[in-house]
Amino acid sequence: MKSFKIFKNIIFLAIIILLTSCSSSVSKSPENVVESYLNALVGKDSATLSTLSCADWEASALMELDSLQAVDVKLSDLSCSLVSADDTNSVVNCTGYLIATYNGEDQKIDLSTRNYLVQEFDNTPLVCGYK
């Protein structure tokens, strides 16, 4: 009976490992990448912002982040959707607002006014600017 419990635990562990490895190989959609990018921007997380940006856009992404350092920032009603896509490029538009607060005054920035260009690099979608 004891050996059956050990066998059962080994099978359970193997299933957990298999499920974990499968879930980590699932690629993110362009919409999710843009949402994560915006959350990293608002969270002032430069490491994540860099990870979600293609090499040509990384400096611009970090400049955007620098411009938000002196204000409190939050996202309101964020929702991103795919506008168009081909084999390597996608265009994503988001609705909602980036709300920047400075000295108690809110400034709403409408996210729907720009489309994000997302490109695939090694099967990984990355934000590469605006379209």
User: For residue range 6-48, what is the model confidence (pLDDT) as tens digits?
Assistant: 544 445 434 444 343 444 434 589 999 999 999 999 999 999 9
| CATH code for position 114 | 3.10.450.50
9 within some domain: no
14 within a domain of the structure (yes/no):
no
Q: Is residue 2 part of a domain?
A: no
Total domains, the chain? 1
**In a domain? residue 6:** no
11, part of any domain: no
Tally of residues, the chain: 131
HSE-up (13 A, CA, CB side) for residue 128: 17
pLDDT in tens, 40-97: 999 999 999 999 999 999 999 999 999 999 999 999 999 999 999 998 899 999 999 9
Place of tokens 């090694």: 122
Which residue range forms the structural domain that includes residue 107?
27-130
User: Are 90 and 30 a contacting pair, CB within 8 Å?
Assistant: yes
The answer to whether residues 92 and 81 touch, using CB atoms and an 8 Å cutoff, is yes
Residue 55 lies in a domain: yes
Specify if 66 maps to a domain.
yes
Residue 3 lies in a domain: no
pLDDT band at 101 (very low <50, low <70, confident <90, very high): very high
